[in-house]
Amino acid sequence: MSNGDRGPSTTAKYGIATFAILAAAYFLVYFHRTTGGALSETFADRYGVSPSAVALLASTYLIAYTVMQIPSGMLTDRWGPRRTATAAVSLIAAGSAMTALSDWTDEFMLIVIGRFIIGFGAASIFIPMMRVLAVWFRKDRFATMNGIILLIGNVGAIAAATPMYEMTDALGIGEAYILLAAVTVMVAACCWVIVRDSPRDRGLGSLDAGAEERIPARRAIATVLGGRMRFWPLAASMFFFFGTMMMWQASQAGSFYTNVYGYGEHDASIMVMMIGIGSLFGCPVGGVLSDRVLRSRKAVAMLGTGGYAAVWAAMWLTAGRDAFSPEVFQGSMNFLFGFFSGFLVATVAQIKECFPSSLSAMSVACMHTFTFIGGALAVATCGFVVADSTVAEFQTLCLIAAVMAFLSFACEAVSVEDGPDDSLSSDPAVGYIVYLTEMGEDGGFLRRRRYRTQGQ
């Protein structure tokens, strides 16, 4: 069959296969990121450690994830999605095996090291996925596909709650994690066998040649960080949003329900699971609103951050009050946390469209650096806020989260959007590139990019 006969349908099939394997890897990313919320009491009882030590597990993962954000963009640019993702998933398998070893040897520090290795590997999966979306799928489907990614990730978050609690209860921590390590090895093998960096690697035509252009890392980082109102408000918004989400879902939610309302560990894990279920609905709704209904990334992200802040305000006002302790009410609150967080799929699309498609991976990597700094700092400090696990301390924690959620909304409100219908050219960032050029920045690359784009 000639290349000419292998048209868009063939490209779509290979693209979906590539996407599916990386989505399976992203399932594992979310799974490991959120296990702390449901298993916080299990880890504390098993290793005999304090709440702040349990919070250290979640923050260790996030610190490693943060440190690797920009390097993961560089690795993706240098190695391509296939090699980067395969190596990353292999690290997750190694970290899972070390977590199992910590249980068998009764060494808490081994689980801390294992979490760090898992975070180190997990950080290098999302960016290859962004590159795959940029080169294998049309631009006008980016937010929808990103919504599907986060939907699958949140299936992982659901699995990390009650199902993971039940598995560790039935098998033990060591056996559960060695089983995870074996599954992860199989995913790594599939990454190597099935994933390809671009349609060209399958002998197919490129959907977006600009997305495959390689730009020196330093120049790419300088361009993104120089984005002013196109970058920094979005980075700050995600800093505050993700800090509250990780503080809750990955660290303190389970402890909140056992200490404030007297839930059992199983019922507390169901509350954590409701966040993931909410995201299962919120992610696709946010993607469709962004791509097809409102046709605005910023409007959808503002709906998400505004709704999320309102739920946190309600959580603060009702925390510790017996009238609001029923599982139906608390489950609904956690469902809404997840639902509105799903709307932030539009934020990733928003920042991607503010820069040339060749910078899609690096722009997302830079934003996620600040996203996970927020998560790491919030998780690391929240253990001290609730050191004695009293109702008053958890009320203070909810107030802090409500303020941070409002700041996330405020930052999104002042951000700049270059929408998918930008009329300047097929590259929605051309206006920004022109702006930088006219400001007289050192821009041999920028001027070349501007003229090349205008000539298309």
> What 8-state DSSP symbol labels residue 210?
G
**pTM score, whole prediction:** 0.72
Q: Are residues 378 and 431 in the same domain?
A: no
User: Alpha helices, DSSP H only, in 342-443?
Assistant: 345-352, 360-385, 391-413, 430-438
The per-residue b/e assignment along 76-105, b for 16 or more CB within 10 angstroms, e otherwise, is bbebbbbbbbbbbbbbbbbbbbbbbbbbee
Q: Are residues 319 and 180 in the same domain?
A: yes
User: Does residue 202 lie within any of the structural domains?
Assistant: no
User: Does residue 431 lie within any of the structural domains?
Assistant: yes
Q: What are the E-state strand segments in 224-276?
A: none
Indicate the residue type of 299: A
With beta carbons less than 8 A apart as the criterion, state whether 358 and 209 touch.
no
Q: How far apart are CA 418 and CA 414, in angstroms?
A: 13
Q: Are residues 108 and 183 in the same domain?
A: yes
pLDDT at 221: 83
Q: Are residues 108 and 231 in the same domain?
A: yes
Q: Are residues 54 and 155 in the same domain?
A: yes
Domains in the chain, number: 2
User: Does residue 208 lie within any of the structural domains?
Assistant: no
Q: Are residues 367 and 438 in the same domain?
A: no
User: Does residue 281 lie within any of the structural domains?
Assistant: yes
Q: Are residues 381 and 448 in the same domain?
A: no
User: Does residue 3 lie within any of the structural domains?
Assistant: no
Quickly count helices (H) and strands (E) in the chain.
Answer: 20, 0
Q: Are residues 411 and 444 in the same domain?
A: no
Distance of CA 164 to the CA centre of its chain: 20
User: Does residue 209 lie within any of the structural domains?
Assistant: no
Q: Are residues 375 and 438 in the same domain?
A: no
Could you tell me the residue range of the domain that residue 400 belongs to? Answer: 8-197+216-421
User: Does residue 61 lie within any of the structural domains?
Assistant: yes
- 393's tokens: 């301390």
- The pLDDT profile of the chain, 456 residues, written as one tens digit per residue, is 444 444 456 767 788 888 899 999 999 998 988 786 677 778 888 888 877 777 777 778 888 888 888 788 788 877 888 999 999 999 999 999 999 999 999 999 999 999 999 999 998 898 888 788 777 777 666 667 777 887 788 888 888 888 888 999 899 999 999 999 999 999 999 999 998 887 777 766 555 545 555 667 778 888 888 888 889 999 999 999 999 998 998 888 988 999 999 999 889 989 988 998 998 898 888 888 887 888 888 999 999 999 999 999 999 999 999 999 999 999 999 999 999 998 988 888 888 888 877 677 778 888 988 998 998 889 888 878 988 889 999 999 999 999 999 999 999 999 988 743 443 333 333 343 334 433 434 443 333 333 333 433
3-state secondary structure at position 181: helix
- 433's tokens: 């590139």
Q: Are residues 221 and 253 in the same domain?
A: yes
Indicate the residue type of 271: M
Q: Are residues 431 and 365 in the same domain?
A: no
Q: Are residues 441 and 336 in the same domain?
A: no
pLDDT at 91: 96
User: Does residue 284 lie within any of the structural domains?
Assistant: yes
- 294's tokens: 């409102």
The total of other beta-carbon atoms located within 10 Å of residue 364's CB is: 28
Q: How far apart are CA 129 and CA 226, in angstroms?
A: 24
Instruction: State the CATH number of the domain containing residue 147.
Output: 1.20.1250.20
With beta carbons less than 8 A apart as the criterion, state whether 153 and 27 touch.
yes
Which residue, among 27, 13, 325, has the nearest Cα to 187 in the 3D structure? 27
Q: How far apart are CA 188 and CA 69, in angstroms?
A: 20
